[in-house]
Copies of this chain bind each other. A is one copy, B any other.
């Protein structure tokens, strides 16, 4: 459980080529873009070899890609329980297996979220001290990094106070390794910022997270509200998976509604059509800022290994974004650092506060150096 020698000398990623809405073509296209900018990386690409071989030859990336033949595909409609029992020959299973065997540091899949989480759970197993793994997503924000982290975005519909504390620790570790924030600010999502508000488990979690903040090497800013998701006063927003999933889809739905309305406004009159041309560059920059494809990649946290869920409908840009995130996390040795962070918190909780150990201090320093 040390975290000093974890950064792999060379980066290997495991990619599920199948299971996206459009089949393997956009995944291989995104992979080619990624490899063009990451010459040192190697990718294990999982799927039917006969189908994948011509695609990677066409993209001229055969040297950086090893195809791992897996004949079957998990469909979006497959039930997670079915995949868990009968999915051993699928590309998704095979992609996760490479991380389990430590042949690759991070797995990326565009497939069925429920199945991906279920197979990740049974093959990678929960990390020590984690009761409920979570999905962390990036949220466009006013912060310098351009993003905040929110978790759980929907791995589990429930979370008690212990889970929320674990989410705070995992989210802070992800912000350090994924966004490069040395000392992230963590907030707990509630219906108001006042201490007396909200559900009972939130009040307990509030106190537990505040207490854990100094050793967890993050600032706790207290309760935050839905309006703070894009805010510059917090970096990591902690909530249960039901609320997080509704918030995520509400934010995406609102952004889509406004974009649609904006497009319609620019087509409304001849003047506005000219305006659209004149403002094209600036609006393009704005579009890029809030483009959901740029934040593509929900990260499963709390397993023995890192798995990134890309949108099923991701195009080459979206797949590239998920791979860039995977590379960042793989290079930082994130999986082992997160495990060490949560495990030391679990040990602390068992031993009681006054047994504060040097081990924990050492972990803190390791994380700061990422």
Contact = CB atoms under 8 A, between A and B. Distances in A.
A131 interface: no
A290 B243 CA distance: 24
Contact of A253 (B226, B271, B275): B226
14 contacts: A189-B246, A198-B242, A227-B253, A228-B253, A250-B250, A250-B251, A250-B254, A251-B251, A257-B290, A261-B290, A264-B286, A268-B281, A269-B281, A271-B279
Given A191-B242, A253-B231, A254-B254, A286 B269 contact: no
Interface in A212-245: 225-231, 239, 241-243, 245
Contacts of A261: 286, 289-290
A255 to B, nearest CB: 6
A262 interface: yes
A362 interface: no
Given A191-B157, A271-B281, A275-B276, A249 B227 contact: yes
A225 B249 contact: yes
Interface in A256-300: 256-258, 261-262, 264-266, 268-269, 271-272, 274-279, 281-283, 285-286, 289-290
A364 interface: no
A247 interface: yes
A330 interface: no
Contacts of A257: 140-142, 230, 290
Contacts of A141: 257
A199 interface: yes
A244 B344 CA distance: 36
A248 interface: yes
A140 B254 CA distance: 9
A143 to B, nearest CB: 11
A161 interface: no
Given A157-B191, A258-B258, A247 B245 contact: no
Contact of A252 (B227, B248, B249, B279): B227
B254 A191 contact: no
A226 B241 contact: no
A276 B279 CA distance: 8
A154 interface: yes
Copies in the complex: 2
A282 B254 contact: no
A278 B279 CA distance: 10
B198 A157 contact: yes
B250 A227 contact: yes
A282 B253 contact: no
A279 B253 contact: no
Contacts of A230: 253-254, 257
A245 B223 CA distance: 14
Interface string A186-205: 00010100000011000000
Contacts of A255: 254, 258
A262 B265 CA distance: 13
Given A227-B250, A253-B229, A254-B251, A199 B242 contact: yes
B272 A281 contact: yes
Contacts of A285: 265, 268
